[in-house]
Amino acid sequence: MSKAENKSPYQIAQEQFDLAAEFMGLEDDLRCILRVPKRELTVNFPVRMDDGSVQAFTGYRVQHNVTRGPGKGGIRYHQNVSLDEVRALAMWMTWKCAVVNIPFGGAKGGVVVDPTKLSLRELENLTRRFATEISPLIGQDGDIPAPDVNTNAQIMAWLMDTISMHTGHLESAITTGKPLGLGGSLGRSDATGRGVSFCVAQAAKFLNMDLKDAPTVVQGFGNVGSVSARMLHDLGCRIIAVGDVYGSIYNPKGIDPHALVQHMKKTRTVMDYPDCEPVPNEDLLEIKCDVLVPAALEEQITAENAPRIRPKILAEGANGPTTPEADKILFENNVFVIPDILCNAGGVTVSYFEWVQDLQSFFWDESEINHRLKLVMDSSFQAVNERAQAHKIPLRLAANILAIERVAEATRLRGIYP
């Protein structure tokens, strides 16, 4: 990455906001309000380890905006978590919730930790203590966490139980992405990847592109990447390459993602899958394909590699995988980029469904959830794409404009207190 492009995720998020605000002529007062987070909490907390020692960990919870509803956003456990990254992710969550028009604001959290180095008991101790530390901010009417990188349904269960013990009664709506037995929603685990596949199908329809046998590359084979790969495969796409943190594999004749999931369960990596050749991770995104799904971490597509990335459709399963400089190059090269705040919004949409079900104590079957998700994703794609085509602008700019318009309108209507 060049020095000029070496920006933090938060700088990128703000640059994207500034570009949209300038294009739409947003008034200065609203730019001042919407450009920065509303609240930031940094906590340093002790955790008792299995050997009896105590270690200190640092965690964050950031609420970017709660004008349209409670803050919503995941909690990630990763050794590289930073306040700057969490700020960016919270901001993107604000626009993501607004672009699919669900009544949530944006929030995000994280702990600086490598969870693979913790035992299950240490992981529970860390989760419960972190939940206690951020408890002044979270709540079913104020800020609702969810799983993110290296967190899962069990961690959400511990978090929910901790807060419930504090209040003396069950707080099932305080988190989403929970186990089904604790108020979780059917369809939630596959929702983000399912939403990616809905967006790719809509993009292919718009481009008059046949997905049957379309060569497809997926970067990242965690929850989002694996589900995206399976559902795109079921739509007819030919998955030719897949990568994870350990490396990438390639087979131009196609890889069965359903079988690859079983391989992953045994080996915890896509490597050594039969009939595939290894590919360096840095080359994965440049493999010739029709559909590319970056579903790993931020800033994977930069000004350096973007000129060599030429899919017909680039569907952002990850948050912030493309830098602003790369965006310009992809747009000039006629790559149809479905931006993260639209493409991977299936997860937060079904999280909204879970929250509604928990509040009502009335649960829907999976077919209804998937049907409702498709309605939301398809209508959101159409609204963003119509805006993009009308102004001849990238979908990311169109999505940001639509989202910012909705948050700005709510801010104007509510006014500034006092």
Which amino acid does the sequence have at 206?
Answer: F
Task: Write out pLDDT tens, residues 112-121.
Answer: 999 999 999 9
Residues in the chain: 418
- What distance in Å separates the CA atoms of residue 58 and residue 60, rounded to the nearest whole number? 7
- The pLDDT, as a whole number, for residue 319 is 87
Q: Is the dihedral of CA 51, 54, 57, 61 positive or negative?
A: positive
pTM for the full model? 0.94
Question: Partners of 145 in the beta sheet?
Answer: 73
Q: Is the dihedral of CA 347, 353, 356, 359 positive or negative?
A: negative
Average pLDDT, the chain: 96
Task: Write out pLDDT tens, residues 377-401.
Answer: 999 999 999 999 999 999 999 999 9
Strand order in the sheet with 313-315: 277-279, 247-250, 238-244, 215-219, 291-294, 313-315, 336-338
- The pLDDT, as a whole number, for residue 7 is 82
| Angstrom distances, CA of residue 47 to CA of 109, 165, 248, 270, 343 | 18, 19, 36, 33, 37
Task: Write out pLDDT tens, residues 34-92.
Answer: 999 999 999 999 999 999 999 999 999 999 999 999 999 999 999 999 999 999 999 99
Catalogue the active-site residues: 108
Asked if pLDDT for residue 3 goes beyond 80, the answer is no
- What distance in Å separates the CA atoms of residue 374 and residue 77, rounded to the nearest whole number? 30
- The pLDDT, as a whole number, for residue 297 is 81
Task: Write out pLDDT tens, residues 401-414.
Answer: 999 999 999 999 99
Q: What domains sit in the chain, N to C, each tagged with a CATH number? A: 38-169 (3.40.50.10860), 191-338 (3.40.50.720)
Q: Is the peptide bond before 9 cis (omega within 30 degrees of 0)?
A: no
Q: Residue 216: count other Cβ atoms within 10 Å of its Cβ.
A: 31
- What distance in Å separates the CA atoms of residue 218 and residue 240, rounded to the nearest whole number? 9
- What distance in Å separates the CA atoms of residue 11 and residue 13, rounded to the nearest whole number? 5
| Helix boundaries (H) for 100-138 | 120-134
* Average pLDDT, integer, range 201-224: 96
Helix axes 9-24, 395-414, angle to 10 degrees: 80
